[in-house]
Amino acid sequence: MTHLKGKDILHGNQFSKKDIEAIIKTASNIEKELKKKDALTLLKGKILATLFFEPSTRTRLSFETAIQRLGGGVISLGAVESSSVAKGETLTDTVRTVSQYADVIVIRHPRTGSAKEAADAVSIPVINAGDGTGQHPTQALLDIYTIYKELGPLKNLVVSMVGDLKNGRTVHALVEILSLFQTRLYFVSPSNLRMPEEITSHLKEKGIGIVETRDMMEGALASDVLYMTRIQKERFTDLSEYEKLKGSYIINKEFLSKLKKRVSILHPLPRVDEITPEVDIYPGAAYFRQVRNGVFVRMALLALVLGKIP
Amino acid sequence: MTHLKGKDILHGNQFSKKDIEAIIKTASNIEKELKKKDALTLLKGKILATLFFEPSTRTRLSFETAIQRLGGGVISLGAVESSSVAKGETLTDTVRTVSQYADVIVIRHPRTGSAKEAADAVSIPVINAGDGTGQHPTQALLDIYTIYKELGPLKNLVVSMVGDLKNGRTVHALVEILSLFQTRLYFVSPSNLRMPEEITSHLKEKGIGIVETRDMMEGALASDVLYMTRIQKERFTDLSEYEKLKGSYIINKEFLSKLKKRVSILHPLPRVDEITPEVDIYPGAAYFRQVRNGVFVRMALLALVLGKIP
Amino acid sequence: MTHLKGKDILHGNQFSKKDIEAIIKTASNIEKELKKKDALTLLKGKILATLFFEPSTRTRLSFETAIQRLGGGVISLGAVESSSVAKGETLTDTVRTVSQYADVIVIRHPRTGSAKEAADAVSIPVINAGDGTGQHPTQALLDIYTIYKELGPLKNLVVSMVGDLKNGRTVHALVEILSLFQTRLYFVSPSNLRMPEEITSHLKEKGIGIVETRDMMEGALASDVLYMTRIQKERFTDLSEYEKLKGSYIINKEFLSKLKKRVSILHPLPRVDEITPEVDIYPGAAYFRQVRNGVFVRMALLALVLGKIP
């Protein structure tokens, strides 16, 4: 069905449409299985190593949940240790050592390209959980799975991405995958945080419809999905520009009241001010369901790269 | 038998006499089962999340042992992470996120009322492992189970509580539970560390016999149980008062020699000077057995709130 | 076969030749089993506690892998916690508490003799994972197992130990064990980092052939095994001495080209400059296989001390 057995998960652009469909189907099957049974044992005896050279608590806990819900075990570099390990030896030696213990490695590292470097050094699968300003493909996969679950088959959808589109590695990986499904895209951002030119031109080449705007409501009214991200104050040189903009990228009750139809609201979390707590009860507020979907997607990925899905 | 399925464990006063008896019976059954079998699987496939926003190594290890001895798994916020997680987002968002991964949450937090706040935010059971100067109900439950195991049926017992009765959240929760069993109580403390008035008056209303004294021997001679706590130097404004008192709340060989019968000595640990190491071989020295009992009680609680005890 | 059931693993000199043979045989059997099956369950329901009062990531991860690959679980003192735990109470009280949770304890502590002290305080087996300048016996056991796997039956071998032989606790434990098998030894070191006199004289009494030299090539040409260790700059008072010597204890491609036969190269890792990355593809480069062997040896030890090997 797919050829992910033994593969590394490094970049949003590594997946074919068939790969994405296989991952979605596997995640969906696992989710159904878990409803029927207390415990799955597909990865019994397998060990996942989590190497987080910078903290990402959610992603780590999500993977540690995923492997355990499939019957496997975990070994983890602690936050303090990861710095001292990194000090004394090369990343290559560290991951080669860990690959003697584990069956699969999840790595988070502040340096772009480090996940690829790790993957090249070892024979077991390596999953990139964020490398600097590079990629974070499993986040994009859980986003896609969430869109699939909220809205059904992935075609002819309109997705607005809102906020810091320049630095957000999640949205970069996500558009790669959405582009496989002829999604139309609204990029909503301040002018200094626009989606990088190489991405938009690449999407245009593939025939993907793109609208760039600073007006979140314009995107929202046209969209099935609003994908929110944080705008960080420190990205602005002109603070008055920040003050002016920040209010326009906040979803609250008043904003919801202007929507014409139910829109699915996603957010990679943690949120700061972008979505007020009153929105949490809105039926389209999918961001906590998105967290849960992340576990199923990571269970699927672990099972696939370890060759346990026929 | 009991209605703890799906419930939170937040406060010593939430339990009826029947609840306590059910918890003791369940813990006792589990303890017997563990003697017969190497491994239990009652909670196979279940995930416990431990969220310790302040360190409490014993309590964390006790819960992590409990879930694993029932076949379940653990995810944990690390000490370093818990501070950074807490920084960026509300406690509510953090626990709602974690509730997407886990089946039950154990939380320790420096703020009184935080465990209740966490419990209100999620649909899975939350167990309070200490919230500020608030409660620490599982410690009180393991104390009760220890008293039951050391002395048999919980009625007509006399218990002395010794030390800092003003600030000790453990003793506050414990007296709530002991009061269900018509226990007579000696409160032994310096005058500035007496049991709070609202607790003593509440106990008197319920018809519980109370003696307040500064003399530990008076309590010890009348009691079946001596429950020791630490007296912390920093609680005293008058250090000469501290120096005078600290010697009178130390159990050593000489003190034991004056007892007329075997008394069960409990302590929530860690001890500092309150009990000298020579006391460890005294048959009534129950404080390390108490640690072990904590695992059985937490196994029982996890199984009960997860609905696995019929 | 062996009498390790219920025993502590504290010191390289505690093992008879029969013990070593039993450990090697058990490790070898477990390694073969793991190739046939995804998951072993020999230690299902058992809990290992790792107490690392100083960091040793490799050793901790190796043990945590070992217990989980046998179906057991782990509880761990975190790096931050271990310091705070150590502060408030005696080591004896800490390990006695932990022994109420776990079935076996692995301890690493900066103070020589602390592992013995811990073992004397509790009734469950304690494994020393390094105590100050004392011992680190499981490293020596995995070294022996690696030599066995690389070279076959342990007799009439010639082993060169290279580098800091004065401070290296690993080599001290290893020579104890090698001496049981009539190994001939080359000790290659700068003059200020020679093997301690009490060890060499003890070996000579036992009739072990020893050559001490500063010339690594002399040892290499005569040896079946080159056991490398780090030379730390800070050990030298005369830095010009350090600069002169450091080059002579580096294995690189040029050095390999002068060898007459394949030599097995071991290193406890992490390496700094002692072995250049180009050496990694040399067939005798055994140091990453050595890491993997460590898991099998620790699985064997855990199974043996817990009485699960008939």
Cα(B151)–Cα(B229) distance, rounded to whole angstroms?
Answer: 20
Q: Which residue has the tokens 């039950």?
A: B104
Instruction: Give the closest of A74, A80, A98 to C79, CB-based.
Output: A80
More confident residue, A1 or B72: B72
Strand-pairing partners, residue A69, are none
Phi, psi of A130 (to 5 degrees): 115, 115
The CATH architecture annotation of domain A12-135+294-305 reads: 3-Layer(aba) Sandwich (3.40)
Cα(B163)–Cα(B141) distance, rounded to whole angstroms?
Answer: 20
pLDDT at A1: 52
Selected for mutation to probe chain A from C47, C50, C68 (highest A CB count within 10 Å) is C68
Instruction: Give the closest of A78, A277, A294 to B78, CB-based.
Output: A78
Residues of chain A with pLDDT under 70: 1-2, 79-87
Q: Which residue has the tokens 């709530």?
A: B176
**CA proximity to B268, closest of B187, B186, B134, B165:** B165
Whole-model pTM: value is 0.95
pLDDT at B81: 67
pLDDT at C84: 61
The tokens of A182 are what?
């002829």
Cβ atoms of C126 and C103 closer than 8 Å: no
Selected for mutation to probe chain B from A41, A57, A64 (highest B CB count within 10 Å) is A57
Cβ atoms of A69 and A62 closer than 8 Å: no
More confident residue, C291 or C135: C291
**What is chain C's length?**
310
- Mean of pLDDT values over B264-291: 95
Domain B12-135+293-305: homologous superfamily in CATH: Aspartate/ornithine carbamoyltransferase (3.40.50.1370)
Q: Say whether B65 and C75 touch across the interface (CB within 8 A).
A: yes
Write the pLDDT tens digit of every residue in B27-55: 999 999 999 998 999 999 999 999 999 88
The tokens of C150 are what?
């690389």
Q: How confident is the model at residue C132 (pLDDT cuts 50, 70, 90)?
A: confident
Q: Say whether B96 and A288 touch across the interface (CB within 8 A).
A: yes
Write the pLDDT tens digit of every residue in C247-277: 779 999 999 999 999 999 999 998 888 999 9
Write the pLDDT tens digit of every residue in A9-22: 999 889 999 999 99
Cα B88-B92-B96 angle, rounded to 5 deg: 105
Shortest distance, CA B81 to any CA of chain A (angstroms)? 7
Where does chain A show beta strands of DSSP type E?
47-52, 73-76, 104-109, 126-131, 158-162, 184-188, 210-213, 225-228, 264-266
**Chain-centre distance of CA B257, in angstroms?**
29
**CA proximity to B267, closest of B285, B293, B248:** B285
Selected for mutation to probe chain B from A31, A46, A52, A68 (highest B CB count within 10 Å) is A68
Cα(B69)–Cα(B150) distance, rounded to whole angstroms?
Answer: 23
Q: Say whether B75 and A65 touch across the interface (CB within 8 A).
A: yes
Chains touching A by CB (3 or more pairs below 8 Å): B, C
CATH number belonging to the domain at B138-290, selected among 3.40.1190.20, 3.20.19.10, 3.40.50.1370, 3.40.50.300: 3.40.50.1370
Shortest distance, CA B205 to any CA of chain C (angstroms)? 38
Q: Say whether B61 and C47 touch across the interface (CB within 8 A).
A: no
Q: Say whether B47 and A65 touch across the interface (CB within 8 A).
A: yes
pLDDT at B86: 57
pLDDT at C80: 64
Cα(A176)–Cα(B19) distance, rounded to whole angstroms?
Answer: 55
Q: Which residue of A has its CA nearest to C67?
A: A73
Q: Most confidently modeled of B74-83, B200-209, C81-90?
A: B200-209
Spell out the alpha helix ranges (H) of chain B: 17-36, 57-69, 79-88, 91-98, 114-121, 137-151, 169-178, 197-205, 216-222, 239-246, 253-257, 287-305
pLDDT at C290: 98
**Which chain B residues have a beta carbon less than 8 Å from that of C89?**
269-272
Q: Which residue of C has its CA nearest to B39?
A: C45
Residues 45 through 84 of chain C touching chain A, CB cutoff 8 Å: 55, 57-58, 61-62, 64-65, 68-69, 78-80
Q: What DSSP line would sit under chain C, residue for residue?
A: ----TT--B--GGG--HHHHHHHHHHHHHHHHHHHH-S---TTTT-EEEEEESS--HHHHHHHHHHHHHTT-EEEE--HHHHHHHHHHS-HHHHHHHHTTT-SEEEEEESSTTHHHHHHHH-SS-EEEEEETTS--HHHHHHHHHHHHHHHSSSSS-EEEEES-TTT-HHHHHHHHHHGGGT-EEEEE--GGGPPPHHHHHHHHHTT--EEEES-HHHHHHH-SEEEE----GGG-S-HHHHHHHHGGG-B-HHHHHT-SS--EEE--S--SSSB-GGGGGSTTB-HHHHHHHHHHHHHHHHHHHTT---
Cα(B14)–Cα(A159) distance, rounded to whole angstroms?
Answer: 48
Q: Do domains B12-135+293-305 and B138-290 have the same CATH topology?
A: yes
- As a dihedral over the C-alpha atoms of residue A165, residue A169, residue A174, residue A179, rounded to 10 degrees, the angle is 70
Q: How confident is the model at residue C155 (pLDDT cuts 50, 70, 90)?
A: confident
Shortest distance, CA B95 to any CA of chain A (angstroms)? 11
Q: Is B101 on the interface with A (CB under 8 A)?
A: yes
Number of C-beta neighbours around residue B44 at 10 A: 17
**Which chain B residues have a beta carbon less than 8 Å from that of A38?**
44-46
Cβ atoms of B101 and B75 closer than 8 Å: yes
Selected for mutation to probe chain C from A67, A96, A100 (highest C CB count within 10 Å) is A100
Q: Is B288 on the interface with C (CB under 8 A)?
A: yes
**Which chain A residues have a beta carbon less than 8 Å from that of C272?**
88-89
Element (H or E) spanning A96, and its range?
Answer: helix A91-98
Instruction: Give the closest of A40, A55, A271 to B81, CB-based.
Output: A55
Selected for mutation to probe chain A from B51, B75, B98, B122 (highest A CB count within 10 Å) is B75
Q: Which residue has the tokens 């700061």?
A: A272
Report whether the peptide linkage leading into residue B110 is cis, meaning its omega lies within 30 degrees of zero: no
Selected for mutation to probe chain C from B37, B61, B230, B295 (highest C CB count within 10 Å) is B61
Cα(B104)–Cα(B102) distance, rounded to whole angstroms?
Answer: 6
Number of C-beta neighbours around residue A88 at 10 A: 14
pLDDT at B37: 94
Q: Which residue of A has its CA nearest to B45?
A: A39
Q: Is A100 on the interface with C (CB under 8 A)?
A: yes
Q: How confident is the model at residue B243 (pLDDT cuts 50, 70, 90)?
A: confident
Q: How confident is the model at residue B155 (pLDDT cuts 50, 70, 90)?
A: confident
pLDDT at B82: 66
Where does A69-172 show beta strands of DSSP type E?
73-76, 104-109, 126-131, 158-162
Write the pLDDT tens digit of every residue in A166-196: 988 889 889 999 999 999 999 999 888 999 9
For the cut 60, the answer to whether the pLDDT of residue C87 exceeds it is no
**Which chain A residues have a beta carbon less than 8 Å from that of B71?**
39
Q: What percent of chain B has pLDDT over 70?
A: 96
Q: So where are chain B's domains? A: 12-135+293-305, 138-290
Q: Which residues contact C265 (CB under 8 A, 6 or more apart)?
A: C225, C226, C228, C251, C275, C279, C282, C284, C285, C286, C287
Give whole-number Cα distances, A169 to A12, A134, A175, A194, in Å.
10, 6, 10, 13
Give whole-number Cα distances, B179 to B154, B196, B220, in Å.
11, 16, 19
Q: Say whether B45 and A37 touch across the interface (CB within 8 A).
A: yes
**Which chain B residues have a beta carbon less than 8 Å from that of A277?**
92
For the cut 80, the answer to whether the pLDDT of residue B56 exceeds it is yes
Q: Say whether C47 and B69 touch across the interface (CB within 8 A).
A: yes
**CA proximity to A149, closest of A303, A2, A13, A296:** A296
Write the pLDDT tens digit of every residue in B79-111: 666 666 655 789 999 999 999 999 999 999 999
**Which chain A residues have a beta carbon less than 8 Å from that of C48?**
none
Q: How confident is the model at residue C169 (pLDDT cuts 50, 70, 90)?
A: confident
Cα(A287)–Cα(A265) distance, rounded to whole angstroms?
Answer: 7
Query: What value of ipTM does the predicted structure carry?
Result: 0.94
Cα(B103)–Cα(B125) distance, rounded to whole angstroms?
Answer: 8
Cα(C272)–Cα(C147) distance, rounded to whole angstroms?
Answer: 22
Q: Say whether B288 and C49 touch across the interface (CB within 8 A).
A: no
pLDDT at B297: 98
Cβ atoms of B65 and B30 closer than 8 Å: no
Q: Is C271 on the interface with A (CB under 8 A)?
A: yes
Strands C225-228 and C158-162: parallel
For the cut 60, the answer to whether the pLDDT of residue C245 exceeds it is yes
- Mean of pLDDT values over B138-158: 95
How many A/B residue pairs have CB atoms within 8 Å? 67
**CA proximity to C185, closest of C198, C167, C204:** C204
Q: Is C239 on the interface with A (CB under 8 A)?
A: no
Give whole-number Cα distances, B121 to A5, A270, A274, A296, in Å.
39, 16, 20, 23
Q: Say whether C291 and A97 touch across the interface (CB within 8 A).
A: yes
Q: Is B39 on the interface with A (CB under 8 A)?
A: no
pLDDT at A80: 64
